[in-house]
Amino acid sequence: MARYNPASAEPKWQQRWDEEKCFEARSDGDRPKYYVLEMFPYPSGKIHIGHVRNYAMGDVIARFKRAQGFDVLHPMGWDAFGLPAENAARDNGGHPREWTYGNIDVMRGQLKRMGLAIDWSREFATCDPEYYVHQQKLFLEFLKKGFVERRESLVNWDPVEMTVLANEQVVDGKGWRSGAPIEKKSMSTWFFKITERADDLLAALDDGRLEGWPAHVKEMQRNWIGKSEGLKMAFPLSGNDLPTDKLEIYTTRPDTLYGASFLGVAPDHPLAKHYAESDPAVAAFISECAAQGTSEAEIEKAEKKGVPLPVTGRHPFTGEELPVYACNFILMQYGTGAIFACPAHDQRDLDFARKYGLPVKPVIAPTPGHENDLKATADPSCPTDDGRTEAYTGPGTMIHSGFLDGMTTEEALAAAIAKIEEMGWGEGTTNYRLRDWGLSRQRYWGCPMPIILCDDCGTVPVPDDQLPVSLPEIDPEEFKAPGNPLDRDCAKAWREVSCPKCGKDARRDTDTMDTFVDSSWYFARFASQPDDKPVDKEEADRWLPVQQYIGGIEHAILHLLYARYFTRMMKECGYTDVDEPFTNLFTQGMVTHATYRDEAGNWLFPEEVEIRGGEAFARDSGAPVTIGPIEKMSKSKKNVVNPMAMADAYGADAVRFFMLSDSPPERDVEWTEAGAEGAWRFANRVYETVERGEGVLKRAGAPGTDLPDDLMEIRRRTHKTIDGVTGDIEHFRFNKAIARLYEFLGALKGISPEGEAAPVMVEALRALTQLTAPFMPHLAEECWELLGGEGLCADAPWPKADESLLADDVITLPVQVNGKRRGEIKVAPDAPQDEVQKIALAQDDVARFLEGKTVRKVIVVPGRIVNVVAG
């Protein structure tokens, strides 16, 4: 009996699939389409086990849908622009292009080694000029339509990477990759006006268009867009040396206007900056705030502080002159960078007012039932300042509020906005946290902006016939210097051009695009890749939207939001009818691994460690090793495993299989050698089981229903397994599908495919092979061949469960007495209730517990349970 040998079987079948162009997407037939896509990888150099899990999931879906008769599109490509290539060129010499394409070659080979059902004919890298030329065209079309514009603005400058970052790439005031403190710098750069689409991007999260997305991803996007409705209004200012006669503020609580006791501006607000010039106290405060950390912990601790400005603002309703403070808790980036403060009903305002002895004017009497929210308050209607230190922010009735008196807070909100609008002092507005998407990056290795900057004509699009604007060749030595080589002499010939409009000397925009632009439409290009335009609409719309998108949660906001935005813009340019690119989204969990440290505290790779009886030892020295917590795999902690080494040891099938067994796919999974060994054992057991039925597909016919009980049971098991696995795959319950395969395999143990059993086993082994195929495709082909199946297993239609075999003819019902399980009975599934009751009560184990008791009630849930209530 030959053992299954993945080392020879896996390359063999990969070659067959290739030769037969098995997985090339067909778009000619009238079969339904299915587009499944995993987020394409950055070509970092080699695939990691997380990639394997990600792509294995997509592969299961792709193979499953294909077998179900869909035309499947399952492509692969490379998110190939970006800083690491430049860093590699800087550190190791060479050119970013060589590094990138070299990595792609390696990783392509590794992915192929995993036997993925991918249509490689559509592969591209975003750094291919054949790809980015269309991105440049899209950019210019967007420019024409006004979706993108060039603006002078304060940008987030990463001094380490020497480039601009989007707000989203600044975390706690630091660059998301470099970790360097971000500086503000004024620059002229390009922006996609994504805020114009904020409303629709938000609406789609709730109107059913994204029903197939996880709730938490939608919630994250909702938070990110951060829509709030309120009022923008201007307070007339009085005072000496006024730089402006009005102060524009933003509030979501205009209902509390009568409770206003002061106005506040951000430390970097123009008004504060103006007075800083003449007042050292203001200047000192501003620099103090600038020095203040922006990390969460520091914000938490930071005391509310401020400095008065020599101005007052007139209250719209009372005419009262309110003092104006520069406050450390006001953000210039949000709203207008200025507020009116109502200490009684806002905690921050109250903290500030208590510190500086400013008036606290309650204007809301809490709604009965909400008084409990009001701590430290004697009188719940709080007619006057009662010295409290906690603001009441709940609902209520307006008091001390002139024309608003007696209204609910909700009514007052609308009434106050209407009044301010009527007075011409301001208007109700919607505010977003979302900023426009700045896409200029001061880097070399990205898609060049197809723009020429002319002193006379401004920004001039590169004419269509001159596209693409390709990256110029740069001497690799140039990457050793910091900054963008495109700005230096080495790119002079490329940079200096004549203006297409006026012909005078001009220069190219030396910025390249944010790599999130590259990944905002690659899925469309996979669907259709004509030479002369980004996509062919008809072809793109045949495939789009992506029915199943799979990737990491780390892209929940940026990539997914940008792709949604981009798709809308492409729609407006007539490239597709789709506005939401991804119908169903699945975010898979990470792969984790235990960490190991030697006695000196140094991290060890798993392969350097030997586990004996739960204790770990260094493989070379035998010294004891501490087993640390199970954590996300990271290079720094060395708790990584090499998928290629694992595939060599256990076969690609086993690696894929293990990554999908045990844990639900959305959760983290721990890589263990034992788990991989388990998968390997499974593969061998399947092979051995199938081997017993060698060639049987060619001999035996279809099984009948006139069979002995044990064989009928096998038939039922077969069809139940088909039914179960099918549903499990459809719902991404890969771990359960695999558990069912184990059970099924166990049930087939020791049954020989002879005589009467032959057709039954044919059916069972065929199902076992086909149901295993999406998870262990190479093994399945090997088994298919062994069984004598026609053609490739990958081409065989997915098995269908026979409904009539899903139900048992005798079922076991548990019987409870007073809710405790006391016995069980065997009955026909359609046995009448009174009969079931009779059998249950007569059952020995049940009767024992009924002695001396009166049966008061018997509950029979058909097919489920019998419960006898007795007392």
Interface with RNA in residues 718-757 (CB under 7 A): 733, 735-736, 738-739, 742-743, 746, 749
CB of 293 to RNA, least distance (A): 10
Which residues 537-566 are close enough to bind RNA by CB under 7 A? 553, 557
Give the angle subtended at the CA of 509 by the CAs of 508 and 512, to the nearest 5°.
125
Residue 857 interacting with RNA (CB under 7 A)? yes
- CA distances (Å), origin 232, targets 35, 161, 262, 421, 425: 45, 38, 16, 10, 9
The piece of 86-94, 511-519, 542-550, 863-871 that touches RNA (CB under 7 A) is 863-871
User: Do 191 and 435 contact (CB within 8 A), yes or no?
Assistant: no
Which is nearer to RNA, 6 or 545 (by Cβ)?
6
Helices (H), 357-457: 409-423
Site for RNA contains 389 (CB under 7 A): no
Instruction: State how far the Cα of 824 lies from the Cα of 779, in Å rounded to an integer.
Output: 41
Strands 228-239 and 262-265: unpaired
Site for RNA in 56-115 (CB under 7 A): none
Contacting RNA within 333-352 (CB under 7 A): 333-335, 337, 339, 346, 348
Q: How far is the CB of 591 from RNA (least distance, A)?
A: 11
Q: How far is the CB of 215 from RNA (least distance, A)?
A: 5
Within 611-650, the residues that bind RNA by CB under 7 A are 613-614
Q: What is the DSSP letter of 489?
A: G
Coil, helix or strand for 366? strand
Among 223, 244, 384, 602, binds RNA (CB under 7 A): 223
Residue 525, amino acid? R
Q: Please tell me whether residue 385 binds RNA under the rule CB under 7 A.
A: no
Residue 568 in tokens: 């809308």
Of 502, 439, 494, which is closest to residue 468 (Cα–Cα)? 494
Among 261, 328, 721, 843, binds RNA (CB under 7 A): 328
DSSP for residue 24: S
Binding segment (CB under 7 A) for RNA, from list 12-20, 69-77, 179-187, 858-866: 858-866
Question: CB of 728: closest distance to RNA in angstroms?
Answer: 9
Query: Which of 27, 87, 228, 459: binder of RNA (CB under 7 A)?
Result: 228
Question: Is the CB of 89 or the CB of 747 nearer to RNA?
Answer: 747
Subset of 302-321 contacting RNA (CB under 7 A): 302-304
In 79-227, at which residue ranges do the beta strands (DSSP E only) sit?
148-158, 163-165, 170-171, 174-175, 183-192
**Selected binder of RNA within 4, 213, 224, 775 (CB under 7 A):** 224
Q: Which of 119, 110, 148 is nearest to 520 (CA)?
A: 148
Residue 236 bridge partners (DSSP): 246
Residues numbered 433-452 forming contacts with RNA, rule: CB under 7 A = 433
Q: Based on the shown chain and the rule CB under 7 A, indicate whether residue 677 belongs to the binding site for RNA.
A: yes
Interface with RNA (CB under 7 A), residue total 80
Site for RNA in 196-215 (CB under 7 A): 215
Helices then strands (H, E): number in the chain?
27, 35
Contact residue for RNA among 816, 837, 840, 841 (CB under 7 A): 816
Q: What is the contact mask toward RNA in residues 572 to 611, using x (rule: CB under 7 A)? A: ----------------------------------------
Q: What is the CA radius of gyration of the chain?
A: 34
| Nearer to RNA (CB atom), residue 574 or residue 613 | 613
Answer yes or no: is 635 a known binding residue.
yes
Q: Which of 489, 674, 803, 844 binds RNA (CB under 7 A)?
A: 674
- Measuring CA to CA, which residue among 425, 424, 420 is closest to residue 403? 420
User: In a 3-state reduction of DSSP, which class is residue 177?
Assistant: coil
The nearest distance, CB 428 to RNA, in angstroms, is 12
Considering only residues 412 to 431 of the shown chain, the ones binding RNA according to CB under 7 A are: 431
CB of 347 to RNA, least distance (A): 8
Does the footprint of RNA cover residue 296 (CB under 7 A)? yes
Q: Which residues contact 102 (CB under 8 A, 6 or more apart)?
A: none
The verdict on 847 binding RNA (CB under 7 A) reads: no
Torsional class of 429: left (φ above 0), alpha (ψ -120 to 50), beta (otherwise): beta
Provide the terminal-to-terminal Cα distance of the chain, rounded to the nearest Å.
Answer: 63
Residue 789 near RNA by CB under 7 A: no
Cβ atoms of 324 and 247 within 8 Å: the answer is yes
Give the Å distances, CA to CA, from 452 to 128, 457, 499: 22, 9, 7
Among 667, 800, 838, 853, binds RNA (CB under 7 A): 667
Q: Using CA atoms in the order 170, 447, 150, 134, what is the torsion angle rounded to 10 degrees?
A: -130
The mark string for 248-277 relative to RNA (x by CB under 7 A, - otherwise) is --xxxx------------x-----------
Q: Interface with RNA by CB under 7 A: which range of 19-27, 76-84, 538-546, 861-869?
A: 861-869
Written as six digits, the tokens of 436 are 């426009």
Contact 190, 439 (CB under 8 A): yes
Annotated binding site for ATP: 635
Annotated binding site: 635
